[in-house]
Amino acid sequence: MSLETFANSKALTLGVELELQIVGTHDYDLTPAAGDLMRLMKGRRIPGDVKPEITTGMIEMATGICIGHQQVLAELREIRDQLVACARRLDVGLCGGGTHPFQDWSRRRIYDTPRFHEISTLYGYLSKQFTIFGQHVHVGCTGPDQALVLLHGLGRYIPHLIALAASSPFVQGTDTGFDSARLNSVFAFPLSGRAPFLLRWDEFEVYFAKMTRTGVVKSMKDFYWDIRPKPEFGTIEVRVLDTPLTVEKAAALAAFIQCLARWLEIERPFGLAEDDYLPYTFNRFQACRFGLEATYVDPTSGEHRVLRDDLRATLARLEPHAIDLRADEALAYLRAEIEGPGNDAAWIRALQQQEHLLPEVVRQQTLRWRG
């Protein structure tokens, strides 16, 4: 199977996808209501779309093609409000969070589509364990070579994005000690991790042809990389973010990625090399485990820094680009979290320490999601 032609796309446009938890309002466990929600949403006019996910206690909402932060936020709020209205009719709740804190994966049901059944047949129990919830951000690129350059440039900021978005400290009723336990489930898949270091699309086409010839992959969907090209959209797709607890946080994270992309494309602050990936796995683990307090190893200098401090410096560098993109409000939102209460994982842990009851934590997550 040949690789799709890289579509025409306007530079730095955004598209945001959010995977949401569907929970019962009696016990706040996941409930298999995706099909009913899809039925009620059918025919409603929204700026993006709503789709099922691999198991029936999940649903995905997605914006259309957006210019910047304010449009992303407006579209997410509109879709959220429509989904919440439909959920109320079914007496179910919706919430963010990268993992449901106490659901039992073995009780999940695969949503009835050919692709989801194919995944289930291939990956076995991992498919139901993939009942985890992430935010994906697409960034428009003017061409395929530019997409690969941007992909690898953003690679050094994967730990920053993981720590900012982390919202999955609990799994099956246990505090994992991780801020983002969700990504441990992603790492179990054989084609996860980082993309190969290729900077020209013709080289990437050769790589893709070799992979399809082995029969290991059939399309780009079979790669679960942290960032992957999406040639049919003309974008790269950042995939490491846990679903935040609010649409405001989701829009701010998308704007942060847009500002990073503009800074990398205009200022070219560093060169790209395969050796940039030497500390990649360490940095990614640290961000998942310790969040904003992680140790970050600079790929160029080898200097060790606290990730929170490196984020402060990064946000300062991005300020002129945020102003030009009208995203300064989004960066201020993230800066306030860094200097104040911390990420969503910290909020979830603090609430559990107060309530000592995970269903109550989920109930309050549904209230936050409704805004």
Predicted confidence (pLDDT) per residue in 99-133, tens digit: 999 998 788 888 778 887 787 777 777 777 778 99
Q: Using the 8-state DSSP alphabet, how is residue 292 labeled? A: G
Mean pLDDT of 180-193: 88
Confidence check: pLDDT of 285 > 80:
yes
Mean pLDDT of 60-78: 98
92's tokens? 């179910």
- pLDDT for position 123: 74
Q: How many CB atoms lie within 10 A of CB 84?
A: 15
114's tokens? 């050919």
Contact criterion met (CB below 8 Å) for 136 and 238? yes
Q: Please tell me the distance from the alpha carbon of residue 249 to that of residue 222, in angstroms, as a whole number.
A: 28
User: Is residue 364 very low, low, confident or very high in pLDDT (cuts 50, 70, 90)?
Assistant: very high
Confidence check: pLDDT of 1 > 70:
no
Confidence check: pLDDT of 362 > 90:
yes
- Supply the angle between the helices 247-267 and 158-165 in degrees, to the nearest 10: 170
Q: What is the mean pLDDT of the chain?
A: 95
Q: Please tell me the distance from the alpha carbon of residue 300 to that of residue 316, in angstroms, as a whole number.
A: 20
Mean pLDDT of 270-281: 96
- pLDDT for position 185: 87
